[in-house]
Amino acid sequence: MTNNNLNLLEIEPLRNLKFWHIWALGVGAVVGDGIFLLIGQGIQMAGPSAIMAFIIAGLLELFLQLSLSELAVGMPSAGAMSVWSERLLGKWWGYLAGMAWAMAWIFVGGCTSIALGRFLAWFIPVNELILAGIAVTIFFLLNLRGSLIAATTQLWLVIILVAIMSCLAIVGIPFAIKGIPENFVPFAPNGWKNMFLAIPLAGYAFMGTASLTTSGSEVQDIKDLPKALIWSAITFIVLYNLSLIVMIGATPWQELSMSESPYVTFANKIFGKSAASIVNLAAIIAATTTVLMGTFYGASRILFYEARNGRLPKIFGYLHPKWRTPTWGLFIIWIISISLIAIAKFNVDYIYVTISMQFLVASYITYALSILAAILYRKRFPEEIAGLPFKIPVPFLTFTIAILGLIISIYFAFVNTPQVLFGSLGWIIPLYLYYQYTNRKNSDLKLYQ
């Protein structure tokens, strides 16, 4: 290895992210395309009871984030889930937890970019997939330039997004009241089973908050990690469920679908095309924030960590000497995102839903392993827990609800679309085989934290 390569592999990330940066990372990673587009499928499936599905999913997500908070503070790292699971469950499980999370966000980068192209086509008369490719390239370049620049961009986008959605919810309340009880009765027109089947779709919309834990190597004050986990979850639970209630209250659910953002349909019907344009702008911002920091930031940090530990090609462990960003990790994510967009040309809606379900499978794997690691962390290292600046409130209740929520989401995801389980074997098996190869090759390698 040359001296230049040695220096590149010894460069460390900059610790320059503050609370509001990582809060915006959590909120932005959540709101994405799911709350604006996939929610239409949930409404068609469950009718007004989709409201309950999204409230349940949001609360379950909050407890999932709480269950990870001690791990995030006790073992802060760019590897996050990899570090936690490897220490407490073993090497393979750590590798699977981290790479599944990276795979999840690489998947979601593709489907969110497709949705973003659809949102942009409202304003720009260009093919939606071409617009998606242009947008994802811009996000790649922003992340390449530095985490602080990308995070600051994310922060301002999320502030604008929250403002738009808050105004939409508040102004729409009188129209929603007029829709009582007509638009809410029957509450579960397709049966209560369909309400439960909609929970995984809501879970997709709310699943991304944990991406902010990968900022453990770049946050200035480690106490900001658990605060951001909790407050980003509270933000989207309140804001998006309120706007969902208002939207369904003011618009018969039969008129809402995935062919257009239900929020745009609602705004266009109630307030006219100008308001629909503003809401569509919010959808663009939401999808932008997801790809900008969820896909590119979170996934590239996992790839960086695994490369530094010899379990991915070492090129992914390089950081740009000036900007301290994982250049090649970002590049490969961009290539895959562009490829997924190109594949979507054959059947946009089918590819979009299929990819989003693979995101769910990968996320569930990571969450399940991380929750188990959190439980073992409390059991095996009580002295470390005692010294942490943040502790899980009522741990038994928190873990119980988190596990219950994960079981409900997994069960109904597979009942609704059983083919996603078989599809996931297409990336889990190669991942395992590659791990076995690298594990034998690097059995004595000291772990990078």
277: domain CATH number is: 1.20.1740.10
pLDDT digits (tens, 9 = 90+) for 344-370: 777 766 666 677 677 778 888 999 999
Binning pLDDT at 50, 70 and 90, where does residue 251 land?
confident
387-415 CB burial, b ≥16 within 10 A, e <16: ebebebeebeebbebbbebbebbbebbbe
Q: Residue 194 and residue 360: Cα distance in Å, rounded? A: 18
Per the prediction, the chain carries an average pLDDT of 82
Contact 83, 366 (CB under 8 A): no
Span 152-166, mean pLDDT?
A: 82
Span 239-256, mean pLDDT?
A: 85
% of residues, the chain, pLDDT over 90: 16
Query: Is residue 214 one of the residues assigned to a domain?
Result: yes
Q: What DSSP character marks residue 184?
A: G
pLDDT digits (tens, 9 = 90+) for 35-61: 666 677 788 889 999 999 888 888 888
Span 126-146, mean pLDDT?
A: 88
Binning pLDDT at 50, 70 and 90, where does residue 92 land?
very high
Query: Is residue 449 one of the residues assigned to a domain?
Result: no
Contact 222, 73 (CB under 8 A): yes
Number of structural domains in the chain? 1
pLDDT of amino acid 357: 73
Q: Which residues on adjacent β-strands are paired with residue 415? A: none
Binning pLDDT at 50, 70 and 90, where does residue 197 land?
confident
* Tokens representing residue 388 in the block: 């942490």
Q: Read off the pTM.
A: 0.81
Q: Which helix (H) or strand (E) holds 61?
A: helix 50-74
Query: Is residue 446 one of the residues assigned to a domain?
Result: no
Over 80: is that where the pLDDT of 119 sits? no
pLDDT of amino acid 6: 42
Task: Using DSSP, state whether 336 is helix, strand or coil.
Answer: helix
Over 90: is that where the pLDDT of 217 sits? no
Span 122-127, mean pLDDT?
A: 86
Span 251-257, mean pLDDT?
A: 84
Most confident stretch, 7-11, 55-59, 156-160, 209-213: 55-59
% of residues, the chain, pLDDT over 70: 86
User: Which of 39-43, 63-67, 200-204 comes out lowest in average pLDDT?
Assistant: 200-204
Binning pLDDT at 50, 70 and 90, where does residue 446 land?
low
End-to-end CA distance of the chain: 22
pLDDT of amino acid 403: 92
pLDDT of amino acid 359: 77
Q: Bigger pLDDT: 176 or 4?
A: 176
User: Which of 316-330, 338-352, 368-382 comes out lowest in average pLDDT?
Assistant: 338-352
Over 60: is that where the pLDDT of 33 sits? no
Query: Is residue 159 one of the residues assigned to a domain?
Result: yes
Query: Is residue 362 one of the residues assigned to a domain?
Result: yes
Query: Is residue 266 one of the residues assigned to a domain?
Result: yes
Q: What ranges in 207-326 are assigned the alpha helix state H?
A: 224-250, 262-271, 273-289, 299-308
Contact 92, 435 (CB under 8 A): yes
Q: Bigger pLDDT: 110 or 319?
A: 319
* Tokens representing residue 204 in the block: 């997709």
Query: Is residue 273 one of the residues assigned to a domain?
Result: yes
Most confident stretch, 149-163, 276-290, 315-329: 315-329
pLDDT digits (tens, 9 = 90+) for 383-407: 999 999 989 989 999 999 999 888 8
pLDDT of amino acid 31: 55
Enclosing domain of residue 94: 3-440
Query: Is residue 176 one of the residues assigned to a domain?
Result: yes
Span 429-443, mean pLDDT?
A: 83
Q: Residue 185 and residue 66: Cα distance in Å, rounded? A: 35
Q: Bigger pLDDT: 287 or 374?
A: 374
Q: Which helix (H) or strand (E) holds 317?
A: none
Over 80: is that where the pLDDT of 235 sits? yes
pLDDT of amino acid 369: 95
Binning pLDDT at 50, 70 and 90, where does residue 317 land?
confident
Binning pLDDT at 50, 70 and 90, where does residue 2 land?
very low
Over 90: is that where the pLDDT of 270 sits? no
Over 80: is that where the pLDDT of 170 sits? yes
Over 50: is that where the pLDDT of 76 sits? yes
Span 430-449, mean pLDDT?
A: 73
pLDDT of amino acid 5: 45
